[in-house]
Amino acid sequence: SLESQVNKPLFDRIGRHVYLNTEGKKYYRKVAPALEQIVDATEALMHDQNSQRITLNMVNSLALHWWIPRMPRLQAYAPQLDVRLSNLSGRFNLEQEGVDAALVHGNTEEWQDYYCEKLSEDELVLVCSPDLIDHSNPVNLSDILKTYPLIEVTNERRKHDWQVWSDAIGVARPKNKKPITFNMSIQAVQATTRRLG
């Protein structure tokens, strides 16, 4: 779910009703314009009889946790639309790759040849399985970092995240700890939920 991906509750659940909480409302205000553009682009495509296929590009974790859960609603709304997903990373040419729209991580300046909308700021947070924390005592970040293996994403976009986070928080990363490394964020998230670090 989106809540598990951002590691924050976004909804209040009261009985059978679900409401956006304060964090959810802030998030919605930031992404609503981009979502409206996706809806508008989809509607425009549906009215164009010659275009029944759209190729969207996004990272696997976004596809898994955000896009795929929404696909049934789109399929019910536009059954004739053939939506393809790709997961190209880095800088690429949409036309050459056959991509109609892309949700990418980066600065809008890097994509000056295209119409861009910034969806949200990047935020680095330290996460671990709640099962690893003694909730009866205050959390000491230095102790946690020394006690459990560090999980690190080594791809070009994420390879400096630990250093950036450590510098921002002012907590030194243990130098003699060998991290568990993954190439993709979604793999690191799964390792964390499995209590590996």
Which pLDDT does position 47 carry in this prediction? 62
Which pLDDT does position 175 carry in this prediction? 78
Query: Quick check: helix, strand or coil at residue 104?
Result: coil
Which pLDDT does position 91 carry in this prediction? 84
39-68 pLDDT, tens digit per residue, is 888 877 766 555 588 999 998 888 988 899
Evaluate if residue 71 carries a pLDDT over 80: yes
Q: Which fold has domain 2-111?
A: D-Maltodextrin-Binding Protein; domain 2 (3.40.190)
pTM, 2 dp: 0.56
- Sign of the CA dihedral running 125, 129, 134, 135: positive
Measure the CA–CA gap between 37 and 55, rounded to whole angstroms. 15
Choice between 80 and 108, residue whose per-residue pLDDT is larger: 80
pLDDT band of 151, cuts 50, 70, 90: very high
Secondary structure string (H, E, C) spanning 111-166: HCCCCCCCCCCCCCCCCCCHHHCCCCCCCCHHHHHHHCCCEEECCCCCCCHHHHHH
Percent of the chain residues past pLDDT 90, beyond the cut:
24
Measure the CA–CA gap between 166 and 175, rounded to whole angstroms. 12
* Chain centroid, CA 26 distance in Å: 16
The domain limits of the chain are 2-111, 130-193
Evaluate if residue 16 carries a pLDDT over 70: yes
162-196 pLDDT, tens digit per residue, is 889 889 888 888 877 789 999 988 899 899 989 89
